[in-house]
Amino acid sequence: MDFRDTPEQATWRNEVRTFLETEKPKIDPEMNPMEAMRRGGGFMKEWREKLSRKGWVAPAWPKEYGGASLSVMEQFIMNEEFAEARAMNVGGMGTSMIGPTLIIHGNEEQKKEHLGAILRGEVQWCQGYSEPGSGSDLASLQTRAVRDGDDFVLNGQKIWTSGAHTADWMFMLARTDPDAPKHRGITYFLMDMKSPGVTVRPLINMANGHMFNEVFFEDVRVPARNVLGEVNRGWYIGTTTLDFERSSIGNAVGQRQTLEYYMKFWKDSRGTAATASASTKARDEFADRWIEAATAKMLSYRVITIQAEGRVPNHEASIAKLFNTELSQRIARSAMKMIGTSAQLMGPEAPMKGRAPASYVQTVSSTIAGGTSEVQRNIVATRGLGLPRA
């Protein structure tokens, strides 16, 4: 593989980089992105408008829907540059998940109602797929939707619903034909979170944060016009993706930046009480992590190479996800060892303002969300190595 940009790619990279240098909001680089977003009403609005003028709120969407029709390689370069500059994407699930699905499966009325609002940042969406008994085996979901006149009536429960407490709409799957084989009796709904009968209960995670929720449905009426695609065909709609790049390059770059941050702290504070481990052992650990972060980047390059050739990455994307998420846990563990007993301290007075212990607990969920490590390994085993299913 040739790692150098073609002349066209170099021009594109330069355009993105120049834009970021001149237009990116100036925020404290130490502030974590969630915190920045919470504080940043004004500058986020301005940032969205700047991105919107270039079609970069949803760069993968076709131009006719307000995107930039970027090729997967252009998206890759853009994502790499955004990650290097620590620039925030503003889209969320609206642009990455439900928007593309609406573009392919929505009727004109649905597209008109939702796509513009997503691009303008007027609405937030959440994803109602997982249930208490259905995560990896999602097709076993039990939330029921029964037709009643012009509506469907929903009863059941979702769980781990990220952002449900701030979302205006949910895209969700519910069972409409309990007698059909499990993949065939599921319908895809667009549900207004203000509908009577919807209850959102917070789940506080182990990092003491409120990110995901339980959502209960009690006789919730969803108009039949809010069914996306055909009734009982929702499973196949749920698996749609537009031509998004799937390399996880943003994560790979982020791993290296996190390591740079920890290593700078270590160098600056060697011999002080803040670092317990000035030993060669810590140095060896960080060297290993550094090599792994470089490997993560190569795995991303592998995925984008496949996509750029017009092929669909499969187990290769699973390998990148698996490696990146497990690496984020190893990096956090190495940072914890470096600061020794100080690793128990959180808050502004703690070493690195408590970033290492926060990351240590936050990264636990990364190997569960978006498909667990075991499920990714199954994909690698069966589709990559051709091993038989257990």
Ligand X SMILES: Cc1cc2nc3c(=O)[nH]c(=O)nc-3n(C[C@H](O)[C@H](O)[C@H](O)COP(=O)(O)OP(=O)(O)OC[C@H]3O[C@@H](n4cnc5c(N)ncnc54)[C@H](O)[C@@H]3O)c2cc1C
The least CB distance from residue 299 to ligand X, in Å, is 21
- 142 closest CA partner among 152, 127, 157, 164: 157
Question: Is the separation of the CB atoms in 194 and 222 below 8 Å?
Answer: no
- From residue 83, alpha-carbon distances to 76, 86, 94 in Å are 10, 5, 20
Closest approach, Cβ 12 to ligand X, in A, equals 32
* Distance in angstroms between the alpha carbons of the first and the last residue of the chain: 35
Shortest gap between Cβ of 338 and ligand X (angstroms)? 26
Q: Are 313 and 380 in contact (CB under 8 A)?
A: no
Question: Cβ 132 to ligand X, closest distance in Å?
Answer: 8
CA angle 5, 49, 163 (to 5 degrees): 90
Closest separation in Å from C-beta 194 to ligand X: 19
Pair of tokens at residue 388: 């038989």
Annotated active-site residue 245? The verdict is yes
Q: What is the length of the chain? A: 390
Pick the closest to residue 76 from 256, 309, 372 (CA basis). Answer: 309
Nearer to ligand X by Cβ, of 71 and 373: the residue is 373
Q: Which residue is nearest to ligand X (CB)?
A: 135
- Beta carbon nearer to ligand X, 127 or 187: 127
- Residues 351 and 305: their CA atoms lie apart, in Å, by 40
- Residue 375 beta carbon to ligand X: minimum distance, rounded to whole angstroms: 6
74, 80, 245, 316: which one is catalytic?
245
Q: Which is nearer to ligand X, 89 or 378 (CB)?
A: 378
Q: Which is nearer to ligand X, 211 or 259 (CB)?
A: 211
Is residue 360 within 8 Å of residue 333, measured between CB atoms? Answer: yes
- Count other Cβ atoms within 10 Å, centred on residue 225: 12
Burial zone of 69 (CB within 10 Å; 0-12 exposed, 13-18 middle, 19+ buried)? middle
Q: Which is nearer to ligand X, 68 or 173 (CB)?
A: 173
Cβ neighbors of 343 (< 8 A, separation 6 or more) are 336, 337, 356, 357, 360
> CA–CA separation, 291 vs 203, rounded Å?
36
Contact between residue 356 and residue 343 where contact means Cβ atoms under 8 Å apart: yes
Residues of the shown chain interacting with ligand X in the complex, contacts defined by CB under 6 A: 126-130, 135-136, 160-162, 212, 365, 368-369, 372, 374-375, 378
Residue 309 CB neighbours (<10 A):
8
Nearest CB to ligand X, comparing residues 110 and 162: 162
CB of 160 to ligand X, least distance (A): 3
Q: Return the structure tokens found at 96.
A: 């990455």
Looking at the Cβ atoms of 52 and 365, the one nearer to ligand X is 365
Q: Are 256 and 293 in contact (CB under 8 A)?
A: yes
Please give the positions annotated as active site: 245
